[in-house]
Amino acid sequence: MLTKKEIVDILKDDSQNKELFELADKVRHDNVGDEIHLRGLIEFSNTCKCTCHYCGLRAENKTVERYRITPDDIIQFAKNAVNAGYKTIVLQSGEDVFYSKDIMCKIISEIKKLDVALTLSIGEKPYKELEAYKNAGADRYLLRIETTDKKLYKALHPFMSFENRKNCLYNLKKLGYETGSGCLVGLPGQTIESLADDILFFKENDFDMIGIGPFIAHPDTPLKNAPNGSLILALKVMSIIRILMKDINIPATTAMETLNPKGRIMALQSGANVIMPNVTMSKYRKKYEIYPNKTCTNEEIDKYKNYIETKIKSINRTISKDFGFRNI
Ligand code: 5AD
């Protein structure tokens, strides 16, 4: 365990970054091994009712061409990904009420017939809905807290409630989901102290997965003029999380790769053990622009799998053939 002060000191001092990354890599090796889990990501709707100040898909961004993929097509994309060898499907969307409880349950139960693990990343939902999705077969749920700094949370999400988001995470745990959270690094107004609080929040709640991404300014958002977050700081936050939460799943995130072409490989060598390749049809991908230049925009499903396998082998790691649940 580390105290808040110790975490702050590590985050502020860059003289021992190499040692930090190496330690996180060793903890990853000793606890979750050398296998990398691939999760096939389907971005099925870019329609969103939220107005998060950093996000390109915010409701107030009128330049986005909105799309909704039909349930049949979502199920077909999932089949394609399973045929390509994916053992987990992640369904992600903006907060889009079009997909009612019944529609989602149908999609979930059809995908679960494919003998695959299923993760949802569809935002804050009432307890009853989360319960229905769990009963329909969903295994995991991703909901980043984004920041635990309440004032900053309020400033960036004027119409949302920090308490509601936290409760939603507690409900997910109570319902037996493998629960993922995470935060953005480098938001304007975010302090190192608040990043330390984020790390302690993840540890206290013993989440099963934590995704960390550097903030990347989107030109059609209120934060368009803010500087991007730092990849190194995001990697440091991720490494400390690996050291404190030895057996969880940690993705090398696309936002890291967007800031540096080697970003995901750096992450995999600093504590990460998961990659989430985009398996959505390419015509939709460009429209899912949470932040600009999202790297996955050019990945084709089969080609990308070959490419990532070669990369993974080059750093002496292998692709897992398991579902990749947390080893409890
Ligand atoms: N830069 C980086 N990450 C972002 N996200 C949203 N907007 C941005 C941005 N501008 C992240 C949020 C969200 C995830 C799906 O994408 O953390 O939870």
Start-to-end C-alpha separation, the chain: 19
Ligand 1 centroid to Cα of residue 214, in Å, is 8
Does residue 288 line the site of ligand 1, with CB under 6 A? no
pLDDT in tens, the chain (328 residues): 999 999 999 999 999 999 999 999 999 999 999 999 999 999 999 999 999 999 999 999 999 999 999 999 999 999 999 999 999 999 999 999 999 999 999 999 999 999 999 999 999 999 999 999 999 999 999 999 999 999 999 999 999 999 999 999 999 999 999 999 999 999 999 999 999 999 999 999 999 999 999 999 999 999 999 999 999 999 999 999 999 999 999 999 999 999 999 999 999 999 999 999 999 988 898 899 999 988 655 567 777 788 888 999 999 999 999 999 997 5
Can you tell me which atom of ligand 1 is nearest the CA of 144?
A: 18
What is the three-class DSSP state of 185? strand
The per-residue pLDDT for 298 is 57
Give, for 139, the enclosing helix (H) or strand (E). Answer: none
The per-residue pLDDT for 302 is 73
Nearest of 135, 140, 168 to residue 39 by alpha carbon: 140
- Output the CA torsion sign for 65, 261, 208, 217: negative
Taking the CB of residue 133, how many other CB atoms lie within 10 A of it? 25
The per-residue pLDDT for 295 is 64
- Alpha-carbon distance of 90 to 96, in angstroms, equals 16
The answer to whether the pTM exceeds 0.75 is yes
The per-residue pLDDT for 253 is 96
Question: Which two tokens mark 223?
Answer: 């934060």
> Which residue has the CA at smallest separation from atom 18 of ligand 1?
144
> Which residue has the CA at smallest separation from atom 3 of ligand 1?
215
Q: Are 66 and 46 in contact (CB under 8 A)?
A: yes
The per-residue pLDDT for 175 is 98
Backbone angles phi, psi at 212, to 5 degrees: -120, 130
Strand 178-185 relative to strand 140-142, pairing: parallel
Can you tell me which atom of ligand 1 is nearest the CA of 55?
A: 7
Q: Are 225 and 57 in contact (CB under 8 A)?
A: no
Write the burial class of residue 5 (CB in 10 Å: 0-12 exposed, 13-18 middle, 19+ buried): exposed
- Alpha-carbon distance of 293 to 301, in angstroms, equals 18
The per-residue pLDDT for 301 is 74
The per-residue pLDDT for 92 is 98
